[in-house]
Each structure stands twice: as C-alpha cells, then as structure tokens.
Amino acid sequence: MTILDLAKRYYPRLWDDRRLDMLVAAGQLTQQEVEEVKEGAHETAGDGL
C-alpha cells in the first residue's frame, strides 16, 4: 500500500490537512495527489466510511 493509498483511506477521518501538508513537505505526496485525495473525500462524504 502506498502513501497515496493510505491518504485516500484515512483522510479526513484519521488524517487531517496538516498531515497531508507534512507529507508534501517530506516529498511523500505531490500537491496534485493531495488535491486528488481531497476531491475523493468530498465524493465519498456521507458514505459511512
């Protein structure tokens, strides 16, 4: 499982914006990947995940 997979799974329930920003700063995620994670979280909001 990649960092991107983990971010998609845990944002925003367990990981917040600060964690995503820290991963970008550490070179683990790109800003484009963060935007993808956030867009995916909005699409699944209310799914009970």
Determine the Cα–Cα distance for residues 46 and 49; give it in Å rounded to an integer: 8
- Predicted confidence at residue 20, as pLDDT, reads 99
Q: Give per-10-residue mean pLDDT for the chain (49 aa).
A: 98 98 99 98 71
- Predicted confidence at residue 28, as pLDDT, reads 98
- Predicted confidence at residue 42, as pLDDT, reads 87
pTM: 0.83
- Predicted confidence at residue 37, as pLDDT, reads 98
Determine the Cα–Cα distance for residues 38 and 41; give it in Å rounded to an integer: 5
- Predicted confidence at residue 27, as pLDDT, reads 99
The structural domains of the chain, with segments of one domain joined by +, span: 3-44
Residue-wise DSSP of 17-40: HHHHHHHHHTTSS-HHHHHHHHHH
- Predicted confidence at residue 8, as pLDDT, reads 98
